[in-house]
Amino acid sequence: MATASAVPVPASHLDVARDAEPATRSANAAMAAKLPFADNADFEAAKRGLIAPVPEGIVRAQSGTVVWNLGEYAFVDGELAPATVNPSLWRMARLNMANGLFKVTERLYQLRGFDISNMTVIEGETGLILIDPLTTAEVSRAALAHYYGHRPRKPVVAVIYTHSHIDHYGGVRGVIDEADVMAGKVMVIAPDGFMQAATGENVLAGLPMGRRSQFQFGTMLPRGPRGQVDAGLGKSVARGTSGLIAPTRSIVQAIEEHMIDAVRIVFQLAPETEAPAEMHMFYPGLGVLNMAENACPLLHNFIPLRGAVARDPRVWARYIGDAIARFGKDTEILIGQHHWPTWGREAVLDHLEAQRDLYKHIHDQTLRYMSKGWRPAEIAEAIDLPPGLAERWSVRGYYGTVNHNVKAVYQRYLSWYDGNPCNLHPLPPAPAAAKFVEYMGGAAAVIARAKADFAKGEYRWVAQVMKEVVFAEPDSIEARALCADALEQMGYQAESATWRNAFLYGALELRHGVFQMPFRGTFSADTLAGLATDSLFDMLAARLDPAKAAGQAMVINWHFTDRDEKLALTLKHSTLTHRMAEHSPAATACVITSRKLFDEIILGKAKAMEALASGTLRVEGDATRLGLLLGMLEPPGTLMFDVLTPARA
């Protein structure tokens, strides 16, 4: 793999698979002694109802390319965790190996282990209702084919998206045809605000989120006891082609009830919880409650490591409480769109109450310490789960952690700023690091002290101080290697799959540099097509180069004929603003085209000047304005930007 760094890396540091240090072995042994590993109830639940596993554990695209391979995780075998994996995380990694077609109850099935998420199948009177068609078309198509291999072949009559994250809608084109949706043969149902949430997040901040996701999910890490073992919510995210088909029905009321192919479904909206647009479902005829991704058997994220708007755990807990009050007495089985079900009313209520109290406890205790003037990192070290929660497997931090969720609560209420003016306007990382290292006696002295601390098992501090040396002297092989070694041991100790992946991938990049990958864009044509025109122009405004726009001023009207949309775009003060549903009399040009063609221009699949020449795009007035404007926009950027070393211009 090519590397962005010209720094030669000694052969002794090319092997990422270093062993667990004594301090790591001790830390993991302490974890093994802390939790009730004799409790195997989850393993029974995870395999209950299995009809047939994923065929060969593999899914291939039509080209033959492997897009999903559970065989990569064959090493996840046996109860005893390797010294390089936190034993609690190892337990979840084993549970997440359960895969295939499962019967949950009469008429309701789940396909698990084809992706990080589940696809739920409800057998209606004439056809199938599919809930959350996975991340990519290839795995969703394979999952449905696996279902058909063991159940009657009925047509898909409805697809339901529980929420706006891509692993719950991206594979839709693998299970239905958009022509059937347009013809009314297939209904697509989603919570209110779904399209804005699904497209907005993936477009406006898609590129940096994509880069950070590599650390969260460990997608480029080798699979193995010293590499990626799990992703918390599942094994990993499937590769392949993601798409989007817009909903034909939105659930807009707090509670709505519908009959879909003779299946009664009660929808409960739960916005601003795990996703901006999310909903739960109760199937009264089946006695099944589907909590989407709001009550998984783990602690979820208030902000994922990839980044997102801070979620509200207070509201999250309230919606879980509402579901208990409304559906609890009639629920016999609890399912989600990750992991395995819970059977029995008493067990369901116990699980939901623990989840409700988990999110509320972290929220409330963070506010309690905030009121004492404590800072985010101080609160994160002080809060732990109380008795009754701490010893439960279903609230362990395999995906989110108490530590970083506390910081998310703080950010939601008080922003990134901890209130100390010394932290209000600090030097940027690289010049600050240079001064720190100089103050500490130079890089050699810092490295020598850090090596001694590494030998004592003080990996957090070694990583913290070596980060300063790396930012002060990015070409220092010794500093990069020691920082990588410290991160690696932190990864081996981490209970959270996402923390482990981030630490180990950070170590990998420090040793090898930034891997160069072909740029494929940060969003699909489906995502761009689903993006509101208002948001599309917000995205373009974020690509304006102020230097190229300096001294320029213009107003351009736009008319997208296929959507009958109008807007006025203003360039002033090296800034783009726009107003929807109006044209400005001050405009010197009006661009008339289809939104579909303009999307293709943005994606680089069509050229504006060629469209102008062909007449598929027209400009009334000064046609040079369009070319001038487009010339001020930067390309989307590079996905593989620096993270472990100083940013480059």
CATH number for 442: 1.25.40.880
pLDDT at 520: 63
Segment 222-255, tens digit of pLDDT: 999 999 999 999 999 999 999 999 999 999 999 9
Note whether 41 and 110 are same-domain residues: yes
Q: What is the distance between the alpha carbons of residues 72 and 86, in angstroms, rounded to a whole number?
A: 19
Quick check: is 645 in a domain?
no
Note whether 117 and 209 are same-domain residues: yes
Note whether 91 and 1 are same-domain residues: no
What is this structure's pTM?
A: 0.92
Q: What is the mean pLDDT of residues 283-294?
A: 98
pLDDT at 4: 38
Quick check: is 288 in a domain?
yes
Segment 454-490, tens digit of pLDDT: 999 999 999 999 999 999 999 999 999 999 999 999 9
Over 90: is that where the pLDDT of 8 sits? no
Tell which wins on pLDDT, 346 or 11.
346
Looking at the 3D structure of the chain, how many domains does it have? 3
Note whether 277 and 194 are same-domain residues: yes
The DSSP result for 417-442, as a single string, is --S-GGGTSPPPHHHHHHHHHHHTT-
Quick check: is 395 in a domain?
yes
Position 16 confidence tier, pLDDT thresholds 50, 70, 90? low
pLDDT at 229: 98
3-state secondary structure of 71: helix
Q: What is the mean pLDDT of residues 596-601?
A: 96
What is each CA distance from 79 to 29, 228, 462, in whole angstroms?
A: 14, 18, 32
Quick check: is 643 in a domain?
no
pLDDT at 518: 65
pLDDT at 635: 85
Contact 630, 549 (CB under 8 A): no
Position 522 confidence tier, pLDDT thresholds 50, 70, 90? low
Segment 150-195, tens digit of pLDDT: 999 999 999 999 999 999 999 999 999 999 999 999 999 999 999 9
CATH number for 242: 3.60.15.30
In sequence order, the β-bridge partners of residue 333 are 288, 343
Quick check: is 636 in a domain?
no
Q: What is the mean pLDDT of residues 570-588?
A: 96
Position 517 confidence tier, pLDDT thresholds 50, 70, 90? confident
Q: What is the mean pLDDT of residues 618-624?
A: 96
Note whether 379 and 430 are same-domain residues: no
Write phi, then psi, for 169 (nearest 5 degrees).
Answer: -145, -20
Q: What is the mean pLDDT of residues 258-283?
A: 98
Position 3 confidence tier, pLDDT thresholds 50, 70, 90? very low
3-state secondary structure of 592: strand
pLDDT at 647: 80
Q: What is the mean pLDDT of residues 553-561?
A: 98
Quick check: is 193 in a domain?
yes
Segment 428-439, tens digit of pLDDT: 999 999 999 999
Note whether 59 and 177 are same-domain residues: yes
Note whether 3 and 66 are same-domain residues: no
* Angle separating helix axes 477-493 and 459-472, nearest 10 degrees: 150
Quick check: is 641 in a domain?
no
Q: What is the distance between the alpha carbons of residues 621 and 629, in angstroms, rounded to a whole number?
A: 15
Cα angle 46, 47, 50 (rounded to 5 degrees) comes to 130
pLDDT at 649: 58
Position 516 confidence tier, pLDDT thresholds 50, 70, 90? confident
Over 90: is that where the pLDDT of 412 sits? yes
Position 199 confidence tier, pLDDT thresholds 50, 70, 90? confident
Over 80: is that where the pLDDT of 68 sits? yes
Quick check: is 214 in a domain?
yes
Position 9 confidence tier, pLDDT thresholds 50, 70, 90? very low
Note whether 396 and 470 are same-domain residues: no
Position 15 confidence tier, pLDDT thresholds 50, 70, 90? low
Average pLDDT for the chain? 94
Containing domain of residue 439, as a range?
A: 1-27+426-516
pLDDT at 183: 98
pLDDT at 427: 96
pLDDT at 532: 92
Over 50: is that where the pLDDT of 6 sits? no
Note whether 107 and 249 are same-domain residues: yes
Segment 318-342, tens digit of pLDDT: 999 999 999 999 999 999 999 999 9
Q: Give exposure, 348-383, as e/b (b: 16+ Cβ within 10 Å).
A: bbebbebbbbbbbbbbebbeebbeeebbbeebbeeb
Note whether 396 and 305 are same-domain residues: yes
Contacts with 332 (C-beta within 8 Å, 6 or more apart), sequence order: 105, 287, 288, 343, 344, 345, 348
